[in-house]
Structure 1
Amino acid sequence: MDIFRTAWPDLVVRLDLWHFMRRLAVGVTTDTHGLYATFMGELSAAIFCWDKSDLNLLKEAKRQQLIQANITDPSDSDVSVRIDRKELSLHCRRMTRSTEVIRERIQAVLELFGGDSGRDTMGVPLFHERIWEL
Structure 2
Amino acid sequence: MNGLMRLEQVTIVLVEDDPSSRQSLAMVLEAEGARVVAAADAEEGIEAALSLAPDVVVCDIDLPAMDGFYLIQRLREDEIRSGRSPAVAVAITGHADEAYRLRSIGEGFHHFVRKPADPERLVALLADAVDARALG
Could you tell me the TM-score, scaled by structure 2's length? 0.30
More strand by share: 2
Could you tell me the TM-score, scaled by structure 1's length? 0.30
Structure exhibiting the larger radius of gyration computed from Cα positions: 1
Higher relative contact order (CA 8 A, sep 6+): 1
